Structure 1
Amino acid sequence: MTSDHEQNSPESIISPPEGCGDEDLLRLIDLCPFLASEKSRYDDVAVLSILRRNPRAACLRRPYRCGIGNGPDGAHPLALVVALGGSLEVVRRMVDSCPSALGMRLGGRRNVLHYAIAEGVDVSVISYLTSRRPALAIEEDSFGAIPLHLASTYCPSSSSSSSVIVHLLSLNPDAAGALDRKSQTPLHRACMSRASLDDVLALIEACPDALFLDDWLGNRPLEYAESMHQRLSEPIPEVIEVLGMAEEILGAKEEDDDDDDDDDDASGDEVGGRRCRRVLGGARKDRTRRILAHFVDIRWRGGVRLAFARNPDLASILDLPPGVFPRLLCLLGTEGVYSVLVRCTDVVFGFA
C-alpha cells in the first residue's frame, strides 16, 4: 500500500505525459527474464540512451507481460531491467531518478534484490543495490527466504554466486542462521543445490550451528548433500567429506542409545532441538589430527579456528601444554594452528 505522499508524487504516475520516451522504454524492456530467448533480446545500450534523454522514464509504473507489476499500482521498470541483466550504469541511473523503486515489493512477494540474485545478476549490481538500501539484504520473500537463501540456491557452482554469498555475509553474518518457512538455513539450501565447497565453507564459518539444525523434514545439511550425491551422476564427495568432518570436530553427533553416560569423552548438549553428544575429536588423537590436517590441505583456516574456538579440549587431546592454547588462538589470524604445529613446533611450544 502506498502512502498519500507517494500517491501524489511524480514517481507514482502510471502514465507519464506523451513524448517522454516511456513507450519506447516499455517496448524495450517488456520481455520475460525467465526465458532465455527473450532475455537475449534485451538492449542495454538502447535503454541507457532513453534514460540519458529522459531520466524520469524510470518512474513509469506499468504491469509487464512476465507478471511483474500485475498489482493495481504496476511496477517501476527497475526490477525488470535488473532481472534482464541491465548494466550497473543503467541500474544506477534508474535508482538516481526513482529511489522509491528500491523499496517496492513486487506482487507482495519479492524485492528487487531477490529478483537480482535469482536471475544471476553480477555482484557489482548487487553491491550497488545493497549500498543504496541495506535493508534489502534482510527482507523476506513470501516463502520466508532472505537474499542469502536465494544466493545459496541459484547458480551455486558459479564464481559469481560465491562472490554474492561472500558479499551478503559481509553485510550481515547472522543471515547464515536465518530460517525460511521450511526451517531451512542457507546451508541447507546450498547442500540441496550442490553448492561449491567454497560456498559451503563460508556458510559454516558464519553459522557453525547450522550443521546440526533439522529442517521441517528432520534433515540436516549433510543429509541433503548425501541425498543429492546419490541421485545425480556427478559426484560431490569433497563437500560431503568436509561436512562430516565439520560435524564431528565442531561439536555434535547424535547420541546412541547404548552410549555410556559416564563416557569421559562426551558431554550432553542441545543443538537444533536434538539431544547430542559432544565428540572431542572422535575421542581419538589420530582422528583429530587427520581432520585438522585435511582442513589445512584445503586451505580452510576458518575450520581450524572454529575447531579450537568451539572445543578447547582439543588442546588436551593433542597433548599441548595449557599455556600454549591462548597463543594458538592468536596465531590463527595468520596461519592455521595445525600447520604451525607441524612446521614450527619449537616456536609454538616456546610461547608456553
Structure 2
Amino acid sequence: MKEYINFSITEQEMAIALQLNRQELDKIVSNLEDSLDSSIEFKESIHFRYFNRKLQERIFSPEGALVIASYIDNNKFNSTTNIKEILKSVMNLVEEHRINRIDNSIRKTVYDNSSSLVVMRELHWLSFKDVVKIFQTKNSKLEESFKNIQSSGDPMKRGEHYEHISAVRYFSFRGIAKLSIELSASLYKKERKDYCTRVPIVVPPVVKDLLALPSSEIPSKEDIESAMRYVKRRDKERCQITGQGRDKINKIELAGHHLFDQKNYSYLAAEVDNIITINREIHENFHQWIGGKDKTCTIDHFITYMETFYPEKNSAILMLYNRRELLKLKLSQLQRYLPESDS
C-alpha cells in the first residue's frame, strides 16, 4: 500500500501551480516521456501513475512534480512567465502534500489508539499509553518530556493539562500541545519533528469526530448479487463518499464496492458490511490508482485513497475506520481462508 501513498498530486493541481492549462501540461509530460536526453528521467511508477488510464489522466509523485518544474525552468517556455514564482508554487504544492501525508499518518494512529478516551470537566483526555502511540515515541521519552516540562518555568497543571484517572496519567489536548513542543525540540529529523508538531493540530478534530459516532461458506453469485442490491437500498441509492444521490435530475451511476476484494476475500463477498455504494467514477479511479481491478485490495487501500483524494470527507473516513474494525474481526474468524500474502 505504501507504494501508492506518494502519488497524490493531481494534474489540475500541477497545472495551476505551473500557470498552464491541461493541454500545455500534457504536452510537457509527453516531451519528458519521449525525451532522448539521458539526463532526463521521467518514468511511470516513479514520477507518475495513471489515475484514469482510459482518459490518460495522471497523478504525480513529489519527485515527478519537481522534474516537471525543473524542465520548465530549463526550457523557458514563456519569456513572460515568472519562473521563480512557478518554482515556489510547485515547492509549496509538494510541501502541502507532504504535510497531508503526515496528518494522515497521525489521524490513523488516533483512530487506532484512542480506546482510553474520556471526557471530564468538558475536557478530552487520553491515557499516557495512547499518547505514547499517537506520538510514535517510547514510554521513557514521553516521561522524560513530561519531567522536563514540570521542571520548567511553565509546568503542566493538574486538572488542566494532565490528570490521574484510576492511577493512570491522562493528558488533555492542552497537555498534548505542551508535549508536542517539548518532543519536537529534542528531535533532529525534519519528518519526525514535523510529525510531533502536527499532533496537537490533527488530534482534537479527529477525537471530537470519534465521539460523535454512534456507539463459512463461499457465497454464490446469486448471494453476492442479492447483497449488492440490499446495500444499494440500505445506502438509499447514494454515494457514501460524496453524498450524491441518483434521481431523474442527477443521472450519476452508482457501483457496489467491495472493501475487501471478491477474488481474494471470497468469503466476504456477500457480507453487506464489506460493500458500500459509491459513484462509479470514484470506483473506476480507485482501481486505476491501485493498479487495476485484478489487484488485491483491502479496506486499508481504500482508506488511503480517501485520505489522499478526499481528506475533507471526515465522516466517510470515520465510517471506513469503524467498518474496518468490524471486518477485521470477521476476517480473524476466517483466517484460514485469507490470501497467503495477507495472513
The structure whose Rg is larger is 1
Shorter-normalised TM-score: what interval? under 0.3
TM-score of the superposed pair, with normalisation by structure 1: 0.21
